[in-house]
């Protein structure tokens, strides 16, 4: 079943209009038709066609500097750090003296799902210490316990000083365990053009894709509750997860910006669309 879906997916992507393109010419082609995928049914699509970020679809987050990972930015719920322009979401980190500010948004309690396909068409920023991410967390992070027991699905992470390399990761368990894989572009880089990043999440497997090509999969995981009770597979990835989009600055993994890091449009992440497809059990997907 899974191999059949993957083969059909590759064909659908080639025929669907999900093509790369620059910010001026690629968008119209990419939106000509919302593709359908065998075994999945469209649940929600955010095309960013309005004049502002929809409050009924998105939450703006607020977090202080160093909240996680020793990151340098402060996340503020302000329009200037996450806004809609020319049919795209723009998340723009800003340097103000020795301080950094950025945007982080999510669909918690507004759009979430358990099992399905989640994808976004994104052009990532570039620069040492710039860390964009498209990822998922549970709607109820306390159901199994605090991170990492609750689980985390990283669909796309690209470090700004190596924009040819994509990271896809699954976090879970107690102690913390991660299943991580990278994908290196053969030509170009993820900051010079748009690419489609996706996962397909089924009860017994999660698969990672870029532009229709599968590069990672996971089919073994577990967790524990806060009182130490072991919860076997498929926990914790058997509950509703929501989408998060953000651009971090600095921290343990990417390192801090240098004097060569610029905070103009090159530091911004551009998101053409986000789409959620639920697993279509009626179509025979298990």
> Cα separation of 160 and 176, whole Å?
26
Express as a percent the part of the chain with pLDDT over 70.
Answer: 87
Query: pLDDT (tens digit, 9 = 90+) per residue, 208-220?
Result: 999 999 999 999 9
Mean pLDDT over 131-155 rounds to 96
The torsion angle over the Cα atoms of residues 203, 204, 206 and 211, rounded to 10 degrees, is -90
Average pLDDT, the chain: 89
| Nearest-angstrom CA–CA distance, 142 and 231 | 14
Best CA proximity match to 118, nearest among 244, 229, 22, 270 = 244
2-283 CATH choice from 3.20.20.70, 2.60.120.200, 3.40.50.970, 3.40.50.2000:
2.60.120.200
Neighbour-count burial of 59, counting CB atoms closer than 10 A to its CB (0-12 exposed, 13-18 middle, 19+ buried): middle
Q: What is the pLDDT of residue 14?
A: 37
The catalytic residues are 152, 157
Q: For the whole model, what pTM was predicted?
A: 0.88
* 142: exposed, middle or buried (Cβ count in 10 Å: 0-12, 13-18, 19+): exposed
Over residues 18-64, the pLDDT tens digits come to 333 334 434 545 455 799 999 999 999 999 999 999 999 999 999 99
Q: Where in the chain are the domains? A: 2-283
């Amino acid at each position: 079943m899974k191999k059949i879906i993957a083969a059909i997916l590759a064909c659908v992507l080639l025929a669907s209009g999900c093509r790369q393109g620059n910010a001026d010419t690629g968008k119209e082609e990419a939106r000509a038709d919302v593709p359908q995928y065998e075994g999945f049914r469209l649940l929600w699509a955010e095309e960013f066609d309005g004049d502002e970020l929809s409050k009924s679809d998105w939450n703006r987050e607020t977090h202080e500097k160093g909240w996680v990972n020793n990151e340098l930015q402060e996340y503020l719920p302000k329009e200037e750090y996450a806004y809609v322009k020319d049919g795209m979401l723009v998340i723009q980190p800003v340097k103000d003296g020795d301080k950094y500010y950025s945007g982080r948004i999510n669909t918690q309690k507004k759009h979430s799902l358990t099992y399905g396909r989640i994808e976004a068409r994104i052009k990532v920023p570039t620069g040492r210490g710039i860390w964009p991410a498209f990822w998922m967390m549970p709607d109820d992070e306390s159901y199994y316990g605090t991170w990492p027991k609750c689980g985390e699905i990283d669909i796309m992470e690209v470090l700004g000083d190596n924009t040819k390399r994509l990271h896809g990761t699954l976090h879970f368990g107690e102690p913390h365990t991660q299943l991580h894989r990278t994908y290196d572009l053969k030509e170009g880089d993820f900051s010079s053009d748009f690419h489609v990043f996706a996962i397909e999440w089924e009860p017994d497997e999660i698969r990672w894709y870029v532009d229709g090509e599968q590069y990672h999969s996971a089919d073994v995981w577990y967790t524990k509750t806060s009182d130490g009770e072991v919860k076997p597979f498929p926990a914790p990835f058997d509950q509703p997860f929501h989408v998060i989009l953000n651009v971090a600055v600095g921290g343990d993994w990417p390192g801090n910006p240098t004097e060569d890091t610029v905070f103009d449009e090159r530091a911004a992440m551009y998101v053409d669309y986000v789409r959620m497809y639920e697993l279509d059990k009626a179509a025979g997907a298990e």
